[in-house]
Amino acid sequence: MSEHVAFDSVVVRFGGELWLKKTWTRRRYVRCLIENMKRVLKRYNVEYSEVMRRRGRLFLKTKEAAEAASRLSRVFGISSVSPALEIGSSKLEDVVDKCVFLASHALDEGNSFAVRCRRVGEHPYSSRDVCREVGRRVLDEFGEEKGLSVNLKRPDMVLGVEVRDNEAFAFSEVVKGVGGMPLGTQGRVVCLLSGGVDSAVAGWLVMKRGCPLVPLYFDCKPYTDEITTERAVEIAKVLCDWAVGFPRRLHVVPYGHVLGAIVKNCPRRLTCLLCKRMMYRVAEVLVDQVRAEGIVTGEAIGEQASQTLRNLRVLDRAAEKYPVHRPILGFDKAETEGLARKIEAYKITARSVQGCKAVPHKPATKAKLEETVEAEAKLNIDEMVEHCVRELRVVDL
């Protein structure tokens, strides 16, 4: 980025999917995106004077353009952002002058460059005219002095121009955004958050599709340790940082008594399946309470013994009212960990914690629904679910 240029604007580009929506839907999504942007800017004390909405773009007026661009790149629904200089008019000479000024600061010695122009509206010149004239002026004024060259395929620097009717903006950097859909354009979901890498990534992925999260953690002490709980809280905070302006809460269920009853009364090989089925039942009650649309888990095919296709089918039958969504169902571990690094959750999920002491030595990998239901007959399921819901507490993050 050009350190000595006082950028005064940010060019905000929408995620491409927004253009697949009908006009009234797209307008609603963009309104939601603007509100999310404002929440982020307020959270990080980034001052701005105006958000201008134009076809296919938003233009933010701010003297803190670099900081604003960095923060907005983490807003779902934004494909990319660019700190920019507003040009006083869309006259060709004014556009060229401002681009040349920016180039004088952005280009280092020996750089190659290209000029890209996107133009909307009626003008007495073409986008090609802008690119040609800016390139010519840059080379004429300081190309020889700095040893610059034009490279249209793989330039070291791209000078960008946005011309919108009577407005124009120049920029030299494109910061990639997170993409997806604006958060809040879809219904909320209850996410079973373990503190591990899988559930963290699963939760983030549905947020990227516009679904606000209601994180739910099952505290299995004494079968797990306190560090496991602390890790889950930290992961919930990371996910909340991707949802600025939305509730920062973690729902915690004391679950050790349930797991203890399963270990004591049911076949050990079915412990993990029975444990997860009970979690689904508790989660469904919370879905009702918070008016959510479903349950999200970090289960992936074959990741654990309880996550074979046969066992997943048995798990699904425990959820009677709402769907169970598994965003990383087909991911391998490397893919999941790669995303965890991207969302800044990996270091937390990689912390060493005590594994669940209730996991059987030989868990069932091809359980039958009939034997699972028969094992559950030894438990007072309704009472256990009611107890979990009654003891549920909400932790503000």
What CATH number does the domain located at 189-396 have? 3.40.50.620
What is the four-CA torsion angle of 71, 170, 3, 153, rounded to 10 degrees? 90
CATH 3.30.2130.30 fits 9-176, yes or no: yes
- Give residue 3's pLDDT: 55
pLDDT tens string for the chain (397 positions)?
555 789 999 999 987 788 788 888 889 999 999 999 999 999 999 999 999 998 889 999 999 999 999 999 999 999 999 999 999 899 999 999 999 999 999 999 999 999 999 999 999 999 999 999 999 999 999 999 999 999 999 999 999 999 999 999 999 999 999 999 999 999 999 999 999 999 999 999 999 999 999 999 999 999 999 999 999 999 999 999 999 999 999 999 999 999 999 999 999 999 999 999 999 999 999 999 999 999 999 999 998 888 999 999 999 999 999 999 999 999 999 999 999 999 999 999 888 888 899 999 999 999 999 999 999 999 999 999 999 999 999 999 9
376: how many CB neighbours lie within 10 A of its CB? 19
* Exposure letters 100-127 (e unless 16+ CB within 10 A, then b): bebbeebbeeebbbbbbbbbeeebebee
* DSSP sequence for 256-292: HHHHHHHHHHS-GGGHHHHHHHHHHHHHHHHHHHHT-
What are the tens digits of pLDDT across the range 96-130? 999 999 999 999 999 999 999 999 999 999 999 99
Where does CATH 3.30.2130.30 sit in the chain? 9-176
Are residues 261 and 375 in contact, defined by beta-carbon separation less than 8 angstroms? no
Where does CATH 3.40.50.620 sit in the chain? 189-396
